[in-house]
Structure 1
Amino acid sequence: MHLDPHLRFEALSALLGKKIKPFDEKNSYKNSPALSVDDFFIQLILTKQSSYAEEFFVDEKEFFDLQYDFDFTNLSDSAACMRGNEPYVRPKGWYRMALKVRGKYPDGDAWLGTNGWRSHSVSGEWPVSYHGTSLEGAKGIIRSHYKAGNRQIYGRGIYSAPNLHDAEIYSKTFTSTMGKTYKVIMQNRVNPGTRQINGNYWLIPVPEGTSAEEEKRIAESSIRPYGVLIKEI
């Protein structure tokens, strides 16, 4: 899959529901705020962290980690994999834009596992999950399944799906400036010590009355992004 440079930012814009532009020396943060990976993800999954601007800048060098990008579009290998002691089916048909998250958290990088191809889990690794909502929300179950809110089926909190096919129906669809149409969805790792398994979804509980600051702490210690998946349709 050929990844047009503008496609990265169009995918982020589709996920968040806000215009996201690349930052360079010609741009200024004065008029539009900058988004880190953490800021982007928190705005994506937490209702209380409502968007305070119509457009944002992203520093590509600080947001994406190009050395870990991976093209799954023509993947033929169907070997069984495990991540965080859970089955992991590699996202065949998708291209993963890796996020720059190594060294971001005080507890280290064990949650990501080790680099390179492997079929087995490693110590301290978190299992993989997916979601694709934005602050604008979506119709139906997605309103309660991927943002902290009050109408959850299994309880209040942050929901994601370990099976890409279950999450794909909630992916965001957009048409690029090149005229092609794509789906985009987030690829995350979930802390097995704090999740609850409910049917086809994993729940990170966020009790009613939790402050915005505490919601952010819960999210960062329980669910972390590491890739943006994109697929031409």
Structure 2
Amino acid sequence: MGYDRAILLEGLSELIGAQVKSSAGGGGASGNTFLRSEVSGAPSSSNTLSVEDLLSAVYFPEQFWQDKTSSGIGLRSAPQGVCNDLFLTDCNFFDPRFDYDFTNIKDTTTFMRGSEVYKRPCGWQRYALKVLNKYPDGNAWLGSAGYRTWSDPNEWPVSYHGTGEDGARGIISTHYLAGSGARYGRGIYSTPDPTVAENDGYAKTFVSKRDGQKYKICLQNRINPRRRQVHNGGKYWLIPVPPGTDAWQERDIVMGNIRPYSLLLKRC
């Protein structure tokens, strides 16, 4: 079931803008997971990618790389000795128990998540992220696992988004333009409809070096209903970010209210 794992990592690389590799494959005894400090020889986590890092890496790369490097220099001008490749450990990043192949499914049943209609990502392959027990408020935001048509108490609804061409600043100011350029406010937008995410151009498209085929990738998220604004008849959901908010506060607002829990991959 599913696509070649190498293609998934290619898609993840496109989302983040850095080469993502699995430390589980071909790295020798050390797995080539960590850099060595030129000064002390001690291991460094400056080139590792965790699930907790993902949203920051996709939408706030400057802050992400400042967190990862002691110099505070971002990805595009990384200092000598800092690797622009990122490594993840499959068993800590992915949770295959919750993978699901939607590629040949057409729903006729109505599903609910977080008291909202859950439009499942039909046509996509879902790769679950290892998010259980990752947040201090527990796992209620995810609801219970399995096939269900109802919502659980305190569950967050499902949304979809990819990445904007302008990076973090584009996400905050222009993500998901409505109609002829009208906007519903400053912040980060997502949609409860995977078809909107795909057709409005916010799923990232790439050509795989593995098989030469074109694919799309996007994130499947849960969104905090208490901070979400609903616009355009429910087509777009906005987590508002007030004007004048500094970059670090922007990241905190976004990361506190949107939680990716799956990667979605689709051959075009």
Query: Greater helix percent: which structure?
Result: 2
CA distance in 2 between counterparts of 1:185 and 1:143 reads: 19
**Match for residue 103 of structure 2?**
73
CA distance in 2 between counterparts of 1:211 and 1:143 reads: 13
* Alignment counterpart, residue 160 of structure 2, candidates 116, 130, 134: 130
Pair 1:136–1:212, CA change in 2 (3 A): closer
Shift of 1:161: 1.1
**Match for residue 69 of structure 2?**
none
Q: Secondary structure at the match of 2:35?
A: coil
* Alignment counterpart, residue 260 of structure 2, candidates 212, 225, 230: 225
Contact 2:164-2:171 at 8 Å conserved across structures: no
Q: Which stretch of the first structure deviates more once superposed, 36-45 or 95-104? A: 36-45
Contact 1:17-1:134 at 8 Å conserved across structures: no
State how 1:34-113 maps to structure 2 within 5 Å.
34-46=48-60, 49=63, 51=65, 52-53=74-75, 54-113=84-143
Query: What percentage of residue pairs aligned between the two structures are identical?
Result: 48
Matched, 1:18 2:18: yes
Unmatched runs of 5 consecutive residues or more in structure 1: none
Query: In the TM superposition, what whole-angstrom CA distance separates every residue of 1:69-110 from its partner, at most 9, and x where no partner exists?
Result: 000011144211111111112111100010111101000111
Shift of 1:155: 1.9
Contact 1:16-1:135 at 8 Å conserved across structures: no
Contact 2:216-2:265 at 8 Å conserved across structures: yes
**Match for residue 195 of structure 1?**
228
Amino acid at match of 2:253: I
CA distance in 1 between counterparts of 2:165 and 2:35 reads: 23
Contact 1:171-1:183 at 8 Å conserved across structures: yes
Q: Which stretch of the first structure deviates more once superposed, 39-48 or 93-102? A: 39-48
Contact 2:105-2:122 at 8 Å conserved across structures: yes
- Considering Cα pairs closer than 8 Å and 6+ residues apart, tell me whether 1 or 2 has the greater RCO: 1
Query: In the TM superposition, what whole-angstrom CA distance separates every residue of 1:39-81 from its partner, at most 9, and x where no partner exists?
Result: 1211212376365333211121111111110000111442111
Query: In the TM superposition, what whole-angstrom CA distance separates every residue of 1:6-50 from its partner, at most 9, and x where no partner exists?
Result: 122112012122211112433132176111112121121237636
Amino acid at match of 1:225: P
Amino acid at match of 1:33: N
Q: Which stretch of the first structure deviates more once superposed, 167-176 or 94-103? A: 167-176
Q: Secondary structure at the match of 1:105?
A: coil
CA distance in 1 between counterparts of 2:50 and 2:60 reads: 15
User: Which stretches of structure 1, 4 residues or more, deviate above 6 A after TM superposition?
Assistant: 140-143
Query: In the TM superposition, what whole-angstrom CA distance separates every residue of 1:124-173 from its partner, at most 9, and x where no partner exists?
Result: 111111111157549x9996117xxxx98222211111111111121111
Amino acid at match of 1:156: R
Pair 1:65–1:84, CA change in 2 (3 A): same
**Match for residue 186 of structure 1?**
219
CA distance in 2 between counterparts of 1:43 and 1:27 reads: 21
- TM value normalised by structure 2: 0.77
* Alignment counterpart, residue 30 of structure 1, candidates 13, 21, 35: 35
Pair 1:5–1:209, CA change in 2 (3 A): same
Aligned length: 228
Q: Secondary structure at the match of 1:155?
A: coil
- TM value normalised by structure 1: 0.88
Unmatched runs of 5 consecutive residues or more in structure 2: 25-29, 37-45, 66-73, 76-83
**Match for residue 114 of structure 1?**
144
CA distance in 2 between counterparts of 1:152 and 1:203 reads: 14
Q: Secondary structure at the match of 1:107?
A: coil
